[in-house]
Each structure stands twice: as C-alpha cells, then as structure tokens.
Amino acid sequence: MDDAGEFMAVAREKGVDGLLRNPQCLAMFAEVVGDGRGWPASRLDLFEAACRKLVREHNDEHLAATQSSPGAQVATPQPTEEALLDAAGRLCAVQLIAGIAGYAVTPVAADVDYPAVDECTPERDGTSAPVHDVGCRLGELRRVLATKLFSAHASGHFRPVHRHVAEFLGARYLARLIGGSSADRRNVGGGLPCGRVLSLLTGHDGVVVTELRGLSAWIAAHSRFARSDLIERDPIGVGLYGDLHRFSAEEKRALLESLRVQASRLTSVFDATGSFSTLAGTGMEPVFREILTDPSRSDDHQEFVYFVLRILAKGKSMPGLSGILVDVVRDETRWPGVNEAGLDAFIRSQADERGKTAALKELLVDVRSGRVRDPDDELLGTLLGRLYPDDLPPSEVWDHFFTPSEQELFGAYRSFWCWDLLDKCSDTEAAEHLDTLAAKLDELRPDMQHRVLGETPLALLARALHAHGSRIATRRLYDWLGVGLPATELGCPSTSKGARQIRVWFEQHAEIQKAVFAEGVKRYAATDNREWAVALHGVLRHLYGATLPADFGAWCLDQAIAATDERVSRMYLERSLAALADRTGDEGLSLEVLFERTKGRLDLADIVNKLGTWPLDGHLELVARIRDKQPDQEKVERERREWIEHFRSQEAALRANRGSPALLHGIALAYFGIAVDAIGDDPMARLAGCLGNDRRLIEVALSAFRRAIHRDDLPDVAEIIRLDAQGKLHYLALPVLAGLAETDRAATEALSNLNDRQVGIALAFRTFGVSDGASMWYRRFLATRPDVVADVLVKCASARIRNGGKHVPGAYELAHDVRHADVARIACLPLLRAFPTRCTLKQLDALDELLWAAIQHADGRSLQDLIVEKLARKSMNAAQRARWLMCGVIVVPGRYEQQLWDYAHGRERRIRQVAAFMCPDHPGRFSDGGLGTSALQLLVSLLGSWCGPEDRSGAGFVTPVMDASRGVGSFIGELATRSGPEAGAALDALASDPALSRWRPALIRACDEQHVVYRDAAYRHPDIGQICRTLNDASPANAGDLAALVADRLEEIGVQIRNGNTDDWRQYWNEDPHGRPTEPKPENSCRDALLSDLRQRLPEDVDAQPEGHYANDKRADIRISCGGYQVPVEIKKDAHPTLWSALRDQLVAHYVRDPETDGYGIYLVLCFGDDERGRLRTPPPPSGTSPRSPSELKERLEATLTRDEKRKIAVCVMDASPGGRGSTPSAP
C-alpha cells in the first residue's frame, strides 16, 4: 500500500477495519485492493473477491492433514472454485448456527467443539437429496478445509480464518438455497423456504439473536427473497453488518420504515451511520423528502430524523433536498442535535458551491444575531469549519470567537478553534491571525483566557515565530507576543505546548530576546505610568519564561547607563540586579562591576548603593524569619533528654510489668504516630526517635507493650465502655494494642494462648482506641474467635447506640468487609434489636449499615421476625420505618412491596428516606443484582417519580437527589440485564407509567436491551443434524421451522389449485350430475381435502391431524406436529361470520398459547368466488368495504396483527373459486 492511512480510512468506511487486526485478513484485503483495480465498489464485492482469492490458495499443512483422513485417497474430480465456495459456505453456516468452534477432519479427532466434518453431509442423516447438492459432498468439504479460508488450531481441527468471513460465506451459501414464493421456486427448479432458514437464526420472538446478526445481515445482502423478512426482523443489523448496495429503492424504503419503528434503538448506532449511507442513493430523494417534512416532533421521530440526517451527511449528494435541509437547520421545534445534523446533511447535499457558500454565510449571520437558535454553539462551529479560510478569512473569523455557552462540551465549536483552524492555517495566515488578534486584543482578552480556547492563540504564535519571528520588525513581534499572554493569565498554564514552543524559540534567539525587552521598556517610557515594577513584570512576560541570555544582566547594565530617561534606567538596572541575585544571566556581572560602572551616574549609583546592601541570596531573610517562629530547639532537646531519663528510671518496673500506665501511654502515642512530635514512617522508627535510638530502652518498651495484656490492673470490658461514655480512654489501651501488634509481628503462638477475657479487653480497646481493620492480630481473631469479637462488638456498639452516638463502631465493617461475615452473622441482629425505635437523624447512617449487614449475613427467618416486630411499633419515626419496610422488600420478596408503596408513594419526605437507604452517597453496600425484579420495579416507580435523569450531574456538592437519580439509572440498568420475561414485563409497565415520563427514553432503551438479553438467553442452538435436515428441506428443527414448512406446503397446494391442470378446486365444491359446481363444501370437508394433499407434501415424521386440542379445551382445525412441536392451523371459509375475528379470538387467544406451539400458528382462508359486485363473499369487515381479491383479503387480515405477531402468525388465503382469477394465490 502506498498510503496506509488512506487504506485504513476506506476500510473504516466499508466497515472492515475490525478484520485488519487479523494478519491474514489484512494481507487478504491488501492483496485485493493492491492488484491494480483498487477498492471494489461494495463491501459485498470486497468480501467476494477476497474469498475467491483465499479459496485458490492452499496451505500445504492443511492439505496434508485432509489427505491423510480415511477415504481422502479415493479419486474424485477436482472441485470447481464455485463448488469449494459453496462447501465453505455450508461449513460456515452450520458452524455459526450450531455454535461450534470448527471441524475435525476425521471422527477420531472430533470433540464437542470440533465435530467431524462428515456430519455436515446430507447422507449422514439419511435425508432426501438437498435442495442444492453443490458443496455437500464430503470430498468438497474436506478439500475446502485445506484452503486459506480455514486455519488450523490443533491437530486435525480447522476453523474459518475469521468470523466475518464465515458470516459472509455462510450467508452466501444459505442465500443460494433460499427460494422465493412457491411459484418462483417451481420456475427455477426448487429452493428452500426462507422461513425455514430464518427459524434457525431467530429467538422466541422471531427476531434474530445477537450472535447470528452478522450471518442474517449477509443473507439479506445476498438474497432478495429473504430481504423483506430480515428488514422487518433486524433492520439495524441488516445495515450495520451487511451491504445495502443491491437493495432496490423499494427495499431501501422498507428498511427506513423498519428503522423508524425501532427509533428508540438507533442511539446505539449513531456513530455507525456510514454503514447505512447507501440508502441515500438513486431514487431515494422522495423518500427522504417525506421523512424530513413529516410534522411529527415526538421523541422517537426526532431520533429517527437525526439518524436519517446523519445518513444524508455521508451518502450520495441530493441537491433537491437542500431547501428542506436548510429549513431543518432553522426549525426551533426540532432538537438542537437535529438542527446540527441538518446542517451537516445540507453541506453534503448541496452540489452548487457558490449557492452553498451563500446559504452558509446567511446562516452564520442569523446564528450570530440569534435569529437561528444555537444553544451549544455547534451550528456556529460547523459553519466556521466549512467557511474558513476560503470564505471567512483570518481578518473576519475572530469576530466569532467567544467563550462557549457550554464550557464542558467539546463539540464542533471547540473543535474548530482548537484543531480545524490550526490544521487549515498556513504560515502566512498565521501572521494574519496574529495581526488581527493584536488589533482586537482588548476586546477579546476575557475570552482568550479560556483554559482550552486560549491555547489556540499560543499555537498560532508559536507557528508564526518559527516562520517569521526572525524577519519581522520588533514592534510587530512585540504585538504578536502580547496576543498569547491572556491565555497564561487565567487559563492555559505557561507549561502548555504553545508556551513551551515559544519559550524554546526565544532561547534560540538571544538577541531577539533583548530586542523584545528593549521594545517593552521603550513602550513603557512612552507612557505616563510611574509603576515601573509592574511595567517591568509586564515586559518580562513577553519572554514567556525563557531562560535569559548568559550576558543579559550585563547588557541591561549597558542599557541603564546609556539611557537618559530615569524610569528606563531604573528598569534596566533593576533587571541587572535581579540577574545577579538570581544567578541567571549574570555572566560578567558582580557587585564590584555594578559599583564601578555606575560611578559616573549619580542616580544609578544611589540605587546600587541602596540595593547593594540587601543580601543577594534572598532566601536567607526568609530562613531567619522562619527560625524566629520555631520553638527553642535547646529547650526541646532538654525536655527530650529528661523524658528519656525518666523512662530509664522506670526500667525495672517496666520489666516487671508494673510500669506506670501513663508512661506507657506516652510511649504508645509515639508508637502509633499520634504524638505531635513523633517522627518516622513506621512504629519502630517513631519509637526509636522517642527513646533517643537507645536499643535497650526500645526493647524495654516493646517488652512492656507485649506483656501489657497480662497486667493485673487491666480494666474489664464494662469499665472500658463506661470510660468511653465519659469520653475517656484507659491509659493501657494503646500499650495493649501496640503489644498485640508486636506479638503478631513476632509470629509466635502467644496470641493463641490468650483467654477470652484478654481477647475481649483487647477488642474493646481496639473499638474505642486505634481501630485499624488491617491489624493482623485482629484478622486472626476474626477468623478464630468470631463469637468473642461479636460479643464485644455488641456490648460496645450497643452502649454507643444507647448514648445516642452517631458513630457505631464496627457497623461499616459488618456491612462491607467480607472478613467480618461470621461476626456479622452473630452481631447484627442483637445490634438492630438494641436500636431505639425513635433514633436520631445522625444515627440513620449506622442503622443503614447494620440493616445491610443483616440483609447479607443474618439468619433469614430471624431477620424476618425482627422486621415484623419492628414494624409493629407504632411509635417508630418515618425515616426508620421506611428503612425497615425496604429491608422487608429485599428479604421477603412480594410481601412488603405494597406496604412500602402505600407508605411512601406521593410523599416526598418518605421517598427521600427510601432513597437515602437504597442510593447512598458511597456505593458498595449491596449489589442491585440481589434485588428481586418486583423490588427493582417498585424502586424505579417510587424514586423515579421524585427525580429525573437530568438530576444525575451538577456542579458543586453531590446532593441526595443526584444520588437517587444515579440509583434509579442503576436499577433500570439492572432490569435491562435480566433474562427472564418478568424483567421485560416490569420495564414495559414502567415505560408506560405517566409519572415516569422523564425516564421514558431510558426505560424504552432498557426495554429494547432486555428483550435482546431475554432472546439471546432463551435461544438454543440446534445441533448439526437438525440444521442439515432443515437445509435439506426435510424434518423441522423447531416450532418456527415447522410453521414455515407447513406454510410453504400450503402455498404449494394453493398454486396447484389455481394453476394445475387437474382442476383441484373441485375437491372443495359440491357438483350437480353434470359436474358443475353448485356450492362450496362444508368446512370440515374442505379441511379433509386440504389435509389429504398436505400430508403428501410433508416429511414422513411430520404428523398432520384434524382437530388439535389446545388451551381451554379449544380445537384447531388441523394440528401439525413433529419432535415435540406443534403448529395449529385454523381454517375459515370466506363467508364465515367470524372470518374477521377468529384470527385473534381463536388462533392468537387460544391455540398458539400452548407451549408446544412456541407462539406459532397459521390462519387459512378458503375463497370461493366473487359476488355480483365483484367482491369476495366475506361478512362485512370491521371497517371499509369487502376485499376484491384473495391478496387484498390477506393484506387486510395481516393488518389486524401486531408487528410481533406477524413474525409468528402466518395468514394464507387460497383461491378455490371455479375457473379461477388467473392470478397466483397470495403467499402466506
């Protein structure tokens, strides 16, 4: 490839960039494109060319493996390229549908993931000859494994080179099997009913499952017979994963209509609209005109129009839509995003560049004046990007520079100023920009301080300096340098990329630095400003922090001596002195030089004499001031020595474990780093610092710590609790805790030898002293003595609760630390029992933690009893009752939902308490996955009526309503991930709740997501035998396959009745002695005649019987069954009084409810001719006039079904009228 970037760009456009991560695919496409003919016209042509290339190439190792298999040596004709592609397609189709990894060449090498390749031949199952036998012979199947279409993954195991290739080839093969209507298949010599193939790819609702969307999309690309079905079932997948180039204008219209129906799902593919760009092609302008002029402004329609506009922005230019698109841009009834997409589409569609520019300039004026709404400045950003620089030169573009309305949005407006302008700007234009900015600096300064946009002037300045800086006049350069300064004041830091580049350039041009400094001083001198220090700072800022030339101080001294203006001399001299003080730019400069050089200038000498007395090392003064504030180090040292001597004097008592508790407490304060003068990163370092690094004293302290737990004067747990109530901590608490830490560090068995009393004292000290959850000794007791830990915790925490304390020790750990699970199991219920019925507000957090701990760890039956007991207390305050009810909802699904709803619904204060419990400001209490579906539905209903999705974010502190909003979003998301039908029903109910209107878009998306999850979870891959039998048009694999098979055979019978030469219509009529038809036979007789013909056309193992029994003892006219599946067929004559209602009232309401039908059924109507008005003899329809033809009757009946029902209920209308109408009956 000459241009890898262009190659990748086109690959992205054609949707094959993902394949390029595979080296073989990369090489494959590179060869196809690099053969001199460039990229094929379509994605389909690209895959076709690539696959043909790969099928011609054989891998020697693959070939050896396939030829070593039994039977491989039998002489067989060399397969054609087409036969090999068909063989590969059959293998790929079966692999994808069966959900297997690949194939084994021989049965010996086969396993569950790699079955033997010969299982894919029709002979294995003894079925009839396949519809197309090409690609089915074992020799062809084995031979194709040796091509580069497949790769070896183990000895004798092969899989397709890439899933996308497998999807393309599998669909290519299946498309060759699929025929159209029965009449079409008769004309072309056979073909598989489309419905049979689709039954293998679809879930319980008749929609394609996720993992087979790529396969189905390519089927739609290859097969015009399957296209309409797949457009209805998965319009997004058809465009996203396939190729639309072969679609007719009518098929594209149908695809757009299906996309409109699924508008709520389009959000997920807004960034992939390039895959749909082919829709904007020849003959489609009227379709898009109709969509864009639709007056609807519903949310779904706005989503759809936005999607369509993005297609138009990437598809073929449609000049006829230009006027409408401009109207879309100006239409304030549309979403701002739709306005913005309309502008992109207009730019693409308008071929007349002059007219386009004029229209864009007019829009620019109207946007800036406010006549066209642009709340996010996105229209303006797009207009600037399109008009600059050819139609909006540097001298004008800065009229549109300002701080954006939405400062956190990085959209088209920021993109223009931060990237587009710089990318399009030439060096010459960079200079023009800086001249313009210098002239507008005062006006634009506030906006140029923006932390993001301010980088643009700096970047322009850096570019212009490198291009022109050494050649332009200093005065102009100084003006340019001023342009970048606002950005360094408040927004972009001096370390930004532009500032760094400017600084580096200055450091490479020492003389220009001096010239710029001189220009600044000169400008100062021309003013009346006497604030020379401020002016000096401003001049230096024009150098952007560059390192000054080595001789800058000496140069400044020269300028000071030469200057005649006292203020100028003062500025230069100050800078010279600063160079000397800072040791920067002081080459050849010293105090002596300053005194010597300024002797002839009394004004300068006076300045030097005054300033020269200052310490040039300016930090010395600061150090002195700091030292004055430090405590007397000698005093501190004296006190430390006295402390150490006092400790030394107590050595004997400490060794006897009788040392002063106060003394030990002081040492322990240092050990734990609590003492203010403790120094060191770890306890030993701090202890050493406290004891003067005396090793003997350190060992004495450590020994006293370790033995403190054995002292006779230890308080008991009750005394420790009493002291805590007084706000006191026993002097031995910290020494004991330090001793336990040291004992544990020594890895001895001493801890195991402690009795329960000692452990209890230690735990109580820890509870009220230094509570370190990471202490290893504490972890050991958690694991070995959870009952003791729980007992002490209950005593200590209960006391805190009774005393009204806000912090309840251990509550957080019980709820969040899995190491406390055994303790929580024992402790949380006693603590909850101890909780007062009317607790204070500050204790609610602790109550929440204890409840969550109980939910996770307590005995379920005991917790349920406690919930009942607590809720029976009428004096309980509202905040606590809301929490106990919510706890009941979680623990006893279905029992407390209504109580909580009745208690909190419509009462904001109570809803707030539910939110505080379920949506804390710190996540991690409980997984949403632990909530029942009904509980999640209840929470969304309650909390969602109080807060909206817009409340999730905001400036400043996180508020309860923000937490609640995030919680509702999480609950909805959890429902969307659940695979059961209950979650779908809950989401559907929530989406239709008017009180949740603000959440409806999120709920609709969640409904769609959950339907996908449910569909995929319920789908079961058919096995290879079932797939092959279906592909051979033999026994069905599932209920949907059975329904498609029967519907196809009924269609065949209808064709035979109408077009056969045996007058089969007579079977359905009574005749006079002369063989003339007199009246239609009774319905049961017609059924029997039809059933007789149908049985002859069905596979042997498919059973067809009259009067099948279904739900509520209802009976369908015909029951078709096979392999545990059933499909009811309800038959009606055209004149039957319930013709219009039986489809829904009988078939849908009763027969297809049987689990064995999986919702599939067939409604068959027999037509027996016209009345005198040329209309069918049907009863009056619910609306309109009677239909004129069987096909119209079929359309009218299908219109009574929902889109979901149409996927599973087939309507078949047979024309059994004498003589016929001369037209083919309608297909089911």
- How far is CA 1092 from each of CA 182, 1057, 1097, rounded to the nearest angstrom? 19, 14, 9
The pLDDT, as a whole number, for residue 619 is 34
Is 763 contained in some domain?
no
Last residue of a domain, one of 323, 351, 379: 351
The residues, any chain, with a CB within 8 Å of residue 1075's CB and separated by 6 or more, are none
Is 20 contained in some domain?
yes
Write the DSSP assignment of 954-986 as a string of letters.
-SSSPPHHHHHHHHHHHHHHHHHH--SHHHHHH
Angle at the Cα of 395 from the Cα atoms of 389 and 398, rounded to 5 degrees = 85
> What parts of the chain have a pLDDT lower than 50?
74, 186-189, 612-631, 1221-1228
Residues 25 and 152 in one domain: yes
In terms of Cβ atoms closer than 10 Å to its own Cβ (0-12, 13-18, 19+), residue 194 is: buried
Place of tokens 């400790």: 647
CA–CA dist 987, 1003 (Å, integer): 7
CA–CA dist 231, 97 (Å, integer): 20
Q: Distance between terminal CA atoms of the chain?
A: 51
- Helix (H) / strand (E) element for 665: namely helix 661-671
Is 1155 contained in some domain?
yes
DSSP H stretches of helix in 72-223: 81-98, 138-145, 163-177, 182-188, 194-201, 213-222
Is 958 contained in some domain?
no
Residues 163 and 255 in one domain: no
In terms of Cβ atoms closer than 10 Å to its own Cβ (0-12, 13-18, 19+), residue 767 is: buried
CA–CA dist 330, 263 (Å, integer): 23
Is 679 contained in some domain?
no
Report the domain count for the chain: 5
**pLDDT tens digits, one per residue of 876-934:** 989 999 999 999 999 999 899 999 999 999 999 999 999 999 987 665 556 666 889 99
**Alpha-carbon dihedral angle through residues 654, 655, 656, 660, given to the nearest 10 degrees:** 0
Which 3 state secondary structure label does DSSP give 34? coil
In terms of Cβ atoms closer than 10 Å to its own Cβ (0-12, 13-18, 19+), residue 785 is: buried
Are the CB atoms for 87 and 140 separated by under 8 Å?
A: yes
**pLDDT tens digits, one per residue of 215-274:** 999 999 999 999 999 999 999 999 999 999 999 999 999 999 999 999 988 988 888 888
Write the DSSP assignment of 103-134 as a string of letters.
EESSGGG--SSS-BGGGGSGGGGTPPPPS--T
Which 3 state secondary structure label does DSSP give 874? coil
Is 450 contained in some domain?
no
- Fill in the DSSP letter of residue 1147: I
Residues 171 and 251 in one domain: no
Residues 272 and 158 in one domain: no
Residues 31 and 171 in one domain: yes
Last residue of a domain, one of 812, 834, 862: 862
The pLDDT, as a whole number, for residue 557 is 93
Residues 251 and 172 in one domain: no
The pLDDT, as a whole number, for residue 96 is 98
Last residue of a domain, one of 827, 862, 897: 862
The pLDDT, as a whole number, for residue 58 is 81
Residues 168 and 256 in one domain: no
Residues 30 and 128 in one domain: yes
- Closest C-alpha among 256, 316, 317 to residue 292: 256
Is 749 contained in some domain?
no
Residues 285 and 155 in one domain: no
- Closest C-alpha among 114, 78, 80 to residue 94: 114
Please report, for the domain that includes residue 1079, its CATH number: 3.40.1350
CA–CA dist 978, 955 (Å, integer): 33
Angle at the Cα of 462 from the Cα atoms of 458 and 468, rounded to 5 degrees = 135
Is 338 contained in some domain?
yes
Residues 1164 and 1061 in one domain: yes
**Is the C-alpha dihedral spanning 599, 601, 604, 607 positive or negative?**
positive
- Closest C-alpha among 1016, 1018, 1014 to residue 975: 1014
Residues 1065 and 1155 in one domain: yes
- Other beta carbons within 10 angstroms of residue 806's beta carbon come to 12
Are the CB atoms for 1043 and 195 separated by under 8 Å?
A: yes
> Could you list the residue range(s) of the whole structural domain that residue 1183 is in?
1035-1215
Residues 128 and 268 in one domain: no
CA–CA dist 543, 509 (Å, integer): 11
**Is the C-alpha dihedral spanning 9, 10, 13, 18 positive or negative?**
negative
Paired with 1214 in beta bridges are: 1166
